[in-house]
């Protein structure tokens, strides 16, 4: 037994990926509704318009969670269901609030602890059109704080709040590569607007300010009576030197994590950006005013960790191009000696390497003073899964192995390394809209038949997790 007795485990989802019902009960459009309508942006030309239809099937989803033995469920709220136009002076949609209030009540009644993510990439489209969304430092943080306050007030029963999911993705994929909504990039064949060298760093800065404002609001006006906790969820991969004998590759491993994770975590824990980023980006990286630094520093009651994969890291020589966001390095799946980091999956960026999970848990713990960690996402796709017959999809041994290896690696980090990990949410409860990859890629422990009324069929992996956690969580 190597996980603490109060350890929570369960599954994670995001509103736009599962809810559907995009026009129901007064919901306004998000930047993802708009992005999906642009031909060529989504691999299979799909959108989240129907997705898993979870908005209309909350009872079914809760019954599923209960049947799998989950003790926690992380889900996100659609901002544009709550405030369809997004802003602090815009009307609030009571039907949207009522939906989530009832959902939380029903989860608690089923004995499942809710983890609510306020923002999982689906910015109200009206804010993007009104003032440039994330790019506006004056308006965006205030509008996010207002939305956060509305939710804190509406759902006092929720004790675990996450402000933003993976701001790296909103910043880099939304404003550098243009791969995600709103699709800004310097590549004019892909977008008429965008500055890949500057916009992502502005967006990241403004997200940190919005996070800081929401945390301050919660701590001052809600936490004293509600007694909950609040943090942010950051994504990042484990790193290994391509050539362990080359000090430049060894150094580049830390730099890769700094450009991905510490970009947000360093300001939250130390009040400033990593020196490696300042050195490479110069004045393109915004600076914190003393007031901003004070707002952001210390604004985490826990560290939300999303983690999937690992890479070999090879440093690059010379001056990096202005739009480089990695830290002047290459990410590879093979080392200098030809060792492969892990097996192929359906996702071009993901190869299983469980030891990397333990190593990254340690890296983060050492750097940030052993904070309380919730693993808010971890999971895998399977190569060619969508093309298999149903019985083979349900027999997902590859995913069972992935979870087994990764959860054991986490348990070792907890028991042997002193890492303070208190929860784990598998990604994902069910197959869903996988952003730019559409519905071809499946991450779910539950198969969703998109051609037959979104019927759900739990896979072997869904049923494997309860026994796994039962074997690892201390009883007393």
By annotation, the residues acting in catalysis are: 166, 377
Preceding peptide of 182 cis, ω within 30°: yes
Decide the pairing of beta strands 446-449 and 455-458: antiparallel
Supply φ then ψ for residue 389, to 5 degrees.
Answer: -65, 155
H, E, C per residue of 423-450: EEEEECCCCCCCHHHCCCCCCCCEEEEC
Q: Is 144 exposed, middle or buried (0-12, 13-18, 19+ CB in 10 A)?
A: buried
Q: Are 295 and 289 in contact (CB under 8 A)?
A: no
Residue 164 has phi, psi (to 5 degrees) of -125, 140
407 to each of 166, 213, 423, how far by Cα in Å?
21, 34, 11
Residue 334 per-residue DSSP state = B
Residue 428 preceded by cis peptide, ω within 30: yes
Cα–Cα distance between 9 and 13 in angstroms, integer?
14
**Continuous segment of H or E residues that includes residue 199:** helix 199-221
Cβ atoms 233, 377 nearer than 8 A: yes
């Amino acid at each position: 037994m190597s996980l603490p007795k109060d350890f929570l485990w369960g599954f994670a989802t995001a509103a736009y990926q599962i809810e559907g019902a995009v026009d129901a009960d007064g919901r306004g459009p998000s930047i993802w509704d708009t992005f999906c309508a642009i031909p060529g942006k989504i691999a299979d030309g799909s959108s989240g318009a129907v997705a898993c239809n979870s908005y209309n099937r909350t009872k079914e989803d809760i019954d599923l969670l209960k049947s799998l033995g989950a003790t926690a469920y992380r889900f996100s709220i659609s901002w544009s269901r709550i405030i369809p136009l997004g802003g602090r002076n815009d009307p609030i949609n009571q039907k949207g609030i009522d939906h989530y209030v009832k959902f939380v009540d029903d989860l608690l009644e089923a004995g499942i602890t809710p983890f609510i993510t306020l923002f999982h990439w689906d910015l109200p489209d009206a804010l993007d059109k009104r003032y440039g969304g994330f790019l506006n430092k004056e308006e965006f943080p205030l509008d996010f704080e207002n939305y956060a306050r509305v939710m804190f007030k509406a759902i006092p029963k929720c004790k675990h709040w996450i402000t933003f999911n993976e701001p790296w993705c909103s910043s880099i994929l939304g404003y550098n590569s243009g791969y995600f909504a709103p699709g800004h990039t310097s590549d004019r064949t892909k977008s008429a607007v965008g500055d890949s060298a500057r916009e992502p760093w502005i967006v990241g800065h403004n997200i940190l300010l919005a996070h800081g404002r929401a945390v301050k609001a919660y701590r001052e006006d809600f936490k004293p009576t509600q007694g909950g906790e609040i943090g942010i969820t950051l994504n990042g991969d484990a790193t290994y030197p391509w050539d362990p004998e080359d000090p430049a590759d060894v150094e580049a491993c830390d730099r890769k994590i700094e450009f991905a994770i510490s970009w947000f975590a360093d300001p939250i824990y130390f009040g400033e950006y990593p020196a490696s980023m300042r050195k490479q980006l110069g004045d393109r990286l915004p600076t914190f005013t003393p007031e901003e630094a004070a707002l952001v520093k210390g604004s985490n009651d826990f560290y939300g960790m999303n983690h999937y994969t690992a890479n070999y890291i090879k440093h690059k020589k010379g001056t990096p191009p202005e739009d480089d966001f990695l830290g002047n390095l290459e990410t590879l799946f093979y080392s200098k000696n030809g060792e492969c980091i892990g097996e192929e999956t359906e996702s071009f960026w993901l190869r299983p390497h469980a030891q990397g999970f333990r190593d990254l848990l340690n890296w983060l713990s050492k750097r940030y003073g052993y904070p309380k960690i919730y693993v808010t996402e971890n999971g895998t796709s399977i190569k060619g899964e969508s093309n298999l017959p149903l019985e083979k999809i349900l027999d997902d041994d590859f995913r069972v192995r992935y979870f087994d290896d990764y959860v054991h690696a986490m348990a070792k980090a907890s028991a042997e390394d002193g890492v303070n990990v208190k929860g784990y949410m598998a990604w994902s409860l069910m197959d869903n809209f996988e952003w730019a990859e559409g519905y071809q890629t499946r991450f779910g422990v539950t198969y969703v038949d998109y051609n037959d009324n979104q019927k759900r069929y739990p896979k072997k992996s869904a049923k494997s997790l309860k026994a796994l956690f039962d074997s690892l969580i201390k009883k007393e």
